[in-house]
């Protein structure tokens, strides 16, 4: 793998949906660049497999559940003192415009995406 730099070396990174697909690829890249990576998802088995391959930590947490996300945030902050990067990768089920996942605008059409359900609780990670 070609390194693009070390700007994230030592950073604490949480990747939701990190047990498969794009989330696993994102986590793999952060780990290769020297970040401390915590991958989350709802299924322990794929998380543990990816974590073992890349040297990450796996935590079962539902990104759509506020209490689960807050518990994860508290655990990571207690252990590492901070969260430098949060990748809200969990969720899916369809495509939608970025604006429709970021607001509750009544003028935007409804979407099949579960991104709003997972993005709102993920905001709790960056809250004080």
Compute the distance between CA of residue 117 and CA of residue 76 in angstroms, rounded to an integer: 22
* pTM of the shown model: 0.74
**Token pair recorded at residue 5:** 């730099």
**Token pair recorded at residue 103:** 């607001």
What digits encode the pLDDT tens for the residues 40-69?
999 999 999 999 999 999 999 988 888 888
Protein fold of 12-126: Rossmann fold (3.40.50)
More confident call, 1 vs 108: 1
Instruction: Give the domain ranges of the chain.
Output: 12-126
pLDDT band at 10 (very low <50, low <70, confident <90, very high): very high
- Please say if the pLDDT value at position 8 is more than 70: yes
What digits encode the pLDDT tens for the residues 65-123?
888 888 998 999 999 999 999 898 887 555 444 444 444 444 444 444 444 445 555 66
The SS3 call for residue 92 is coil
């Amino acid at each position: 793998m070609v390194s693009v730099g070390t700007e994230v070396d030592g950073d604490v990174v949480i990747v939701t949906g990190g047990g498969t697909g794009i989330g696993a690829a994102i986590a793999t890249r952060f780990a290769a660049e020297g970040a401390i990576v915590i991958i989350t998802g709802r299924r322990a088995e794929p998380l543990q497999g990816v974590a073992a391959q890349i040297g990450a930590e796996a935590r079962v947490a539902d990104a759509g559940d506020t209490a689960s996300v807050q518990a994860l945030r508290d655990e990571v902050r207690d252990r590492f003192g901070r969260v430098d990067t949060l990748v809200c990768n969990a969720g899916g089920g369809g495509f939608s415009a970025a604006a429709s996942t970021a607001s509750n605008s009544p003028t935007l059409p409804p979407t099949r995406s579960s991104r709003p359900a997972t993005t709102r609780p993920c905001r709790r990670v960056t809250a004080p």
